[in-house]
Amino acid sequence: MSRCDPLATAIPPMKDLTTENITENVHIVNSQCRDPRLRYLHERIVTHLHDFCRETRLSTEEWQAGIQFLTEIGQISDDLRHEMILLSDTLGVSLLVDSINHPRREPATEGTVLGPFHTHDAKEKDNGAVLHSDPDATPLLVICSVKDTEGDPISDVKIDVWEGDSKGFYDVQDPNRTGPDGRGVLHSDKEGRFFFKAIVPVPYPIPMDGPVGGMLRRLGRHPNRPGHVHFMLDKPGYDLLITALYPRGDPYETSDPVFGVKESLIVDLSEVTDPAMASQYNVEMGTPLLTYDFVLLTDQQARDLRKQKAVEEMQKQNRDVVWHNGLPVPATGVQ
C-alpha cells in the first residue's frame, strides 16, 4: 500500500504497522539515536520484548498485571530497599551481568552476586581480628591466600569481608545499629595470606513482603539463601573479585533464590585439630576451619576475556564487532 509523500522531516517513514513488522518499525524510529551503544541496547531489548509477547500471545490482562507489578516494585523502593535489584537477582539477571563483566577462566576464582548488604563503613582490621560480636554464634577460623594465575602470591590486596549473624541477620538490618558488625577490611601479607575469626554462616530469607516475594510465592519458590561469607578482593592492576564462600551441606545450597552458588565456591569446613595451630591463631581446639585460595585475574586478562566473549556473541548474530567506549556494538544494522 502506498503512503502519502514523505514529509519534510528527517525521520525515516515507518511502514504500515502489523503484529509482525512493528519490531522493525520501532528500530527505524530508534535509528535516530546518535549513540551506537544505546541504539544497540534498544534494538536488542525491543526485539526480545516483542518476541516475548508474540511467543506467549500475552493477554491484555497479563500485560496489565505486568505493568502493575513493575510499577509497585518502583513504588516500594527507596534508599534502603532495592526491590528492582531483588527482581533482577531472583530472575538470575544480576548473577549473569556479574559473570559477563567479570569473566573468569581456570584457575581464577569465580565471582558471585554482591547482594544488598555490603557497606562502606567497615573498619580496617589486622589479620587475626574477630569480625563479629555475636555471643550466640559458632566461631569460625578463616585462613586464605591470594595468588595470580601463575601461582605467585599477591600482597597488599584489600579484602572486604561481611556476613550475617547467628540468626541470619546483617548488622544493617538491626534498627538499633550503632556501627559496623560482622564486617571488616583486611589486607593480604607478603605471602598473600590473610586470616580472621568469623562465625559459621547460617541461611536467611530474602525480603518476602514486597512484589518480588509475591512473585516467588506464585512460582512456588522459597526465599532462603544458603549460608555464606562475602568477600571483595581489590588491588590496582587486578580485576575486582566480588564473591562468597558457601559451607557445603546447607539445605538451600541447590536452590539459592538469587542463583549465587557455584560449585567452585562451595567449601568443606574442617576443624582445628593441631594444638600448634590453635595456639598460633588463638582459637580453641575443634574450632571450625575454613581455608580457601583465591586466584585473581589481572585487569588485562579480564579485558581480553571480555573482548573475546563479546566477539563470539556478536558472531552468533552474524555480525562483526566495533568498539564504543570499550563496549561492543555491531558493525552492521539490524539482522
The three-point CA angle 109-114-117 to 5° equals: 135
Q: Quick check: 33 binds a copy of itself (CB under 8 A)?
A: yes
Complex with a copy of itself: residue 17 or 208, whichever CB lies closer: 17
Q: Is 237 left (phi over 0), alpha (psi -120 to 50) or beta?
A: left
Complex with a copy of itself: residue 219 or 276, whichever CB lies closer: 219
Q: Which of 204, 262, 302, 334 binds a copy of itself (CB under 8 A)?
A: 262
Number of residues that bind a copy of itself (CB under 8 A): 100
Q: Quick check: 132 binds a copy of itself (CB under 8 A)?
A: no
Q: Quick check: 105 binds a copy of itself (CB under 8 A)?
A: no
Q: Tell me which residues in 137-166 interact with a copy of itself (CB under 8 A).
A: none
Q: Quick check: 118 binds a copy of itself (CB under 8 A)?
A: no
Q: Quick check: 322 binds a copy of itself (CB under 8 A)?
A: no
State how far the alpha carbon of 217 is from the alpha carbons of 207, 211, 222, in Å.
12, 10, 7
**Strands 224-225, 204-205: pairing kind:** antiparallel
Complex with a copy of itself: residue 100 or 285, whichever CB lies closer: 100
Q: Which of 313, 315, 320, 332 binds a copy of itself (CB under 8 A)?
A: 313
Question: Distance between CA 34 and CA 312 in Å, rounded?
Answer: 25
Q: Which of 130, 285, 322, 327 binds a copy of itself (CB under 8 A)?
A: 327
User: Would you mind telling me the total number of residues written for the chain in this entry?
Assistant: 335
Q: Which of 133, 270, 280, 317 binds a copy of itself (CB under 8 A)?
A: 317
What residues are paired with 130 via a beta bridge?
197
Least distance (Å) between residue 110 CB and a copy of itself = 9
Question: Distance between CA 247 and CA 226 in Å, rounded?
Answer: 9
SS3 content of the chain, % helix, strand, coil (to 5): 30, 20, 50
Instruction: Give residues with Cβ within 8 angstroms of 315, minimum separation 6.
Output: none
Complex with a copy of itself: residue 285 or 327, whichever CB lies closer: 327
